[in-house]
Amino acid sequence: MGARGFLAAFDAETGKELWKTYTVPAPGEPGSETWPAGGDHYKRGGASIWITGTYDPETHLTFWGTGNGGPWFGDQRPGDNLFTSSVVAFNAGTGQIKGHFQYHPNDSWDWDEVSPPLIVDYRRDGRTVKGLVNVARNGYLWQLERTGGKINFVAGQPYVRQNVFKGLDPRTGRPDVDETRKPGTGKTAEFCPSLWGGKNWPPAAYSPQTRMLYIPANDNLCTQLTGEAPKYVQGERFMGVAKNVLKMVAGADHIGELQAWNLDTGKKVWTTNMPSFNWGPVLATGGGLLFAGGTNDRMFRAFDARTGKVLWEFPTGSGVAGVPVSFQVDGKQYVAVQSGWGVDPAKMQTRMNLIFPGQYPDVPQGGAVWVFAVK
């Protein structure tokens, strides 16, 4: 939309705005040198925030993920374009930006990295790392380190098929981009994962009991994208997309997955393939269970957290793209989730039906809360 992203804080009692920090710097501010010099491009540079961030009481920092740049194609805004497609650390009291890590500079793939990183400590090389862990839309699992300011790179690796990054700088984590896989203005490129990413906004989950991270992933999808120069009109889309085609990898037998990763070893422990693509946020419980929906068969499922085995499933009235929650009343545990299908899951359903006509019929939109008692 040609927006300039920001984070703002308000007094909970009065509603008064206490501070406001933009995620695209103005000329002269730190990071402004990563944008084209001159003009007012920063006013519509993107880096919007979709998802509520996380907070670290030890450092009084709050961490937020940011979206991609505007318009979509990086050759129209040369430079790294801070603080797009990044995690940004803000001082919760003042709004001052204290640190950042950019998952990929000069985004041209619509890989908004809006998910906030999980504040999870893990073991690496014989020491405990005060971690920030993000399952990124660009198809990489990032293990970072939080400090009182700077965010340090520790490790990164693909968790789905990824053909854009040829590798990462072992010191900084900056990706080495295959330019043939980078679309631009009048330039077509095909890349994996698709613009919906290896994981989109649905949150992953971590269990301190198993020390595993659980990822609702989509593999084997790619996008063919061509850009054009858009005209900025206030209130209208400012993307510059001339052609956008979703493709499935030839010979692939599935898309959706639920994955489990051991953060101490950096290794994947198990993968459970899903019957369709997966838009299911994950809930990990102290009872050794995972709860998630996300598939177009309308099922809500319980999985064994250690093995990934499906232990239970229930057909709801729609697709489950909502975030499950668990709560207790009078000593009885319940799990609740919203069942409702729309926006990106519905759009992916439509695109898949173009690839495989008739195999992906419409899912009822729904809009109900389902509550289950845990026996």
CB 307 within 8 A of CB 293: no
* Helix or strand run (H / E) with residue 198: none
- Per the listing, tokens 């919760």 go with 92
- Per the listing, tokens 């693909």 go with 158
**Confidence (pLDDT) at 39:** 82
Nearest C-alpha neighbor of 81 from the set 100, 64, 63, 57? 100
The domain 1-179 is placed in CATH, from the list 3.40.50.720, 3.40.50.300, 1.10.8.60, 2.40.128.630, at 2.40.128.630
**Confidence (pLDDT) at 236:** 94
| Residues 221, 344: Cα–Cα separation, whole Å | 14
Residue 100: pLDDT band with limits 50, 70, 90: very high
pLDDT tens-digit profile of 317-350? 999 999 999 999 999 999 999 999 999 999 999 9
Active site residues: 110
| Residues 289, 143: Cα–Cα separation, whole Å | 24
Nearest C-alpha neighbor of 338 from the set 223, 142, 246, 202? 202
Nearest C-alpha neighbor of 71 from the set 229, 255, 301? 229
* Helix or strand run (H / E) with residue 218: strand 212-218
Q: Is 241 helix (H, G, I), strand (E, B) or coil?
A: strand
pLDDT tens-digit profile of 352-364? 999 999 999 889 9
CB burial class (10 A; 0-12, 13-18, 19+) of residue 369?
A: exposed
**Confidence (pLDDT) at 38:** 85
pLDDT tens-digit profile of 271-321? 999 999 999 999 999 999 999 999 999 999 999 999 999 999 999 999 999
Give the pLDDT mean for 188-204: 98
**Confidence (pLDDT) at 278:** 98
Q: What is the pTM of this model?
A: 0.97
| Residues 19, 26: Cα–Cα separation, whole Å | 16
**Confidence (pLDDT) at 258:** 98
| Residues 198, 222: Cα–Cα separation, whole Å | 10
pLDDT tens-digit profile of 203-257? 999 999 999 999 999 999 999 999 999 999 999 999 999 999 999 999 999 999 9
- Mean pLDDT over all residues of the chain? 97
Largest CA distance in the chain: 63
**Confidence (pLDDT) at 375:** 86
**Confidence (pLDDT) at 321:** 96
Domain boundaries of the chain, sorted by first residue: 1-179, 274-375
pLDDT tens-digit profile of 48-72? 999 999 999 999 999 999 999 999 9
